[in-house]
Amino acid sequence: MNWPSTPAPVTQLPVDRYLAEVTARLPGSPLAHRDIVAELRSGILDATDAHCAAGLPPAEAVQAAIGEFGDPAQVADGFRTEVAAGLARRAALVVLVTGPLVGVLWIVTAAASHLAPHHQWADLSPGFQVGVPLVAVAAGVTACGALFGIAATGRLTRWLPALPRRAPGAAAVAGFGAIGADAAGLALLGVQLATAAGTLSPWPAAAAAAASIARLVFARRAALRCLAIRAGLT
Amino acid sequence: MRAETLKGHLDGILLAVLEPEPRHGYSIMEALRDRSAGQVDLPTGTVYPALHRLERAGLVRASWSTVGGRRRRVYELTPAGRRALDTERSTWRDFSAAVTALLQPQPLAVSPQ
C-alpha cells in the first residue's frame, strides 16, 4: 500500500542511527551493505508512512516504525550470513577466474624461455620437477575450494543444510591455495633467475610475476578476511 | 506468533505471500499480518534477510523499482520458487494431518479390576 510520504527531516536522523547500528554489526565495507541499507530504509519509511496515516505525528511514527523493525542486533544477525555469503562468493569467483589467466602467463613464459627445449619432462631442472607438481596441487586446492564456495552460496543452498560458516571457510581454503600456487610460481622464477637468468624471456616473465604478485596480495587479503568472517558466524 | 514458532516454515510462508503478485519488503510484512489475521507479527527487519536467502537459493527474484518516488526492492517468485511452494504445501498438509491425529483426545483406557 502506498501511504503519503512523511516529511524527510523528521525521519532522517533516527533512521540513519538505526541503520548505522545494524551495519556496524555486519562484516565487509559500507559498499557491501549499500543495498541492505537502501532496502531497510525504504521499508522503515513505508512503515513510518503507514503509522502517520493511522494518525501518529511524524516523530512518533518513525519511532514506531523502528520499533516494528526490531532490535538492530537481531536484524544484523539475520543479514550477517547473507553478507558473509556474498563476500565469500565474490572472493571465490575472483580467485577461480584469475587462476587460469595467471597460469597462461606462466606457461607463455616457460614456452618463450624454452625451459623444456624438447618438450620433455626430463628437460626440466630438478627444482622445476618438484615445483611444477606443487603448483598443480595448490591450483587444484584453489579450484576445489572456490567451486565449493560458489556452490555453497548459490542455487545449491536449496538442497544443502544451512551451515553459515561453510562458504567463508571454502573461500579461505581457495585463497590459501592461490597463495600457495602463486608463491610456488614466483619461487620457481627466483630459482631460474638465480641459476640461468639469461634463458628467461623478460617480458612474459615480468608480466607473469606481476600478475602472480597481484593475485597473491588479493588472495591473502581475501583468505584472512574470510577466516575472520567465518569466526564471527555461528 | 513468535519467530521461534515459525522456525522452519518462514520460507514457505514468504513464498505463499509472493504467489499472487510481486511485493516489496514492507508490503510482504503487511500481507503476512493481514493473511494471518495479525497472528504472524515478526520483527519486520528479520523478514528481509530471509528474502535475501530465498533470492540466493533462486526461489525468488528481486529487482529495484521506483514506486511513489521511493526506490523499493520488489520480490517475485521464480518457477523454482513455485515448485518449492508446492512441495512446502504438501509437506505441511502431511505434517499437520499427522500432528492433528496425534493431538486428538483419546478415550481413556479402562484398567482391568
pLDDT tens, residue by residue, B21-77: 999 999 999 999 999 988 887 888 889 999 999 999 999 999 999 877 889 999 999
Q: What is the dihedral of CA A105, A108, A112, A113, to 10 degrees?
A: 60
**Average pLDDT along chain A:** 90
Q: Cβ contacts of residue A56 below 8 Å, gap of 6+?
A: A64
Residue A161, Cβ neighbours under 10 Å: how many? 6
Cell for A163?
Answer: 551451515
Residue A62, Cβ neighbours under 10 Å: how many? 26
Cα A113 to Cα A95: distance, rounded to the nearest angstrom: 27
Amino acid, single-letter form, for residue A220: R
Cα A67 to Cα A72: distance, rounded to the nearest angstrom: 10
Residues A233, A171, B61: CA angle, nearest 5 degrees:
75
Nearest of A115, A96, A105 to residue A211 by alpha carbon:
A105
Amino acid B45: pLDDT: 87
Q: How confident is the model at residue B1 (pLDDT cuts 50, 70, 90)?
A: low
Q: Is residue A48 helix, strand or coil? A: helix
User: Over 90: is that where the pLDDT of A216 sits?
Assistant: yes
Cα A144 to Cα B105: distance, rounded to the nearest angstrom: 55
Between A130 and A146, the more confident residue is A146
Q: How confident is the model at residue A7 (pLDDT cuts 50, 70, 90)?
A: low
Q: Which helix (H) or strand (E) holds A223?
A: helix A202-231
Encode burial over B82-111: b for 16+ CB neighbours within 10 A, e otherwise. eebbeebeeeeeeeeeeeeeeeeeeeeeee
Contact A42 B73 (CB under 8 A): yes
Amino acid B107: pLDDT: 85
- The percentage of residues in chain A with a pLDDT greater than 90, rounded to a whole number, is 70
For residue A125, the number of C-alpha atoms closer than 13 Å in the C-beta half-sphere is 15
Among the ranges given (A59-73, A95-109, A192-206), the one the predictor scored with the smallest mean pLDDT? A192-206
Q: What is the pLDDT of residues A49-70, one digit of tens each?
A: 999 999 999 999 999 999 999 9
- Mean pLDDT of the region B96-100: 93
- Mean pLDDT of the region A215-228: 96
Q: Pick from A39, A81, A158: which is nearest to B25 by CB? A: A39
Domains of chain B: residue spans and CATH: 3-86 (1.10.10.10)
Cα A37 to Cα A54: distance, rounded to the nearest angstrom: 26
Contacts of A157 in chain B (CB under 8 A): 53, 56-57
| Cβ–Cβ < 8 Å for A148, A170 | yes
User: Over 80: is that where the pLDDT of A192 sits?
Assistant: yes
Cα A182 to Cα A99: distance, rounded to the nearest angstrom: 9
Chain B: closest CA distance from residue A2 (Å): 7
Report residue B61: phi and psi, to 5°: -120, 135
Residues A193, A196, A197: CA angle, nearest 5 degrees:
45
Q: Is A36 on the interface with B (CB under 8 A)?
A: yes
Q: Pick from A69, A78, A157: which is nearest to B49 by CB? A: A78
- The percentage of residues in chain A with a pLDDT greater than 70, rounded to a whole number, is 96
Q: What is the pLDDT of residues A83-92, one digit of tens each?
A: 999 999 999 9
User: Over 70: is that where the pLDDT of A8 sits?
Assistant: no
Contacts of B67 in chain A (CB under 8 A): 2
Contact B69 A5 (CB under 8 A): yes
Amino acid B113: pLDDT: 62
Contact A158 B84 (CB under 8 A): yes
- Mean pLDDT of the region A114-126: 77
Q: pTM of the predicted model, to two decimals?
A: 0.84
Contacts of B56 in chain A (CB under 8 A): 82, 85, 153-154, 157
Cell for B87?
Answer: 512441495
A77, A139, A165, B106, B107 from B110: Cα distances, Å: 53, 73, 55, 12, 9
- Mean pLDDT of the region A173-185: 96
Q: What is the pLDDT of residues A34-46, one digit of tens each?
A: 999 999 999 999 9
Report residue B109: phi and psi, to 5°: -75, 135
Q: Is A78 on the interface with B (CB under 8 A)?
A: yes
> Looking at this predicted complex, what is its ipTM?
0.86
Between A17 and B107, the more confident residue is A17
| Cβ–Cβ < 8 Å for A142, A178 | yes
Report residue A224: phi and psi, to 5°: -65, -40
Q: Is A70 on the interface with B (CB under 8 A)?
A: yes
Q: How confident is the model at residue B2 (pLDDT cuts 50, 70, 90)?
A: low
Contact A158 B52 (CB under 8 A): no
Q: Please list the alpha-helical segments (H only) found in chain A.
A: 8-23, 30-53, 58-69, 72-112, 126-151, 166-196, 202-231
Q: How confident is the model at residue B79 (pLDDT cuts 50, 70, 90)?
A: very high
Contacts of A153 in chain B (CB under 8 A): 56
Q: Is A20 exposed, middle or buried (0-12, 13-18, 19+ CB in 10 A)?
A: exposed
Between B64 and A117, the more confident residue is B64
Amino acid B8: pLDDT: 79
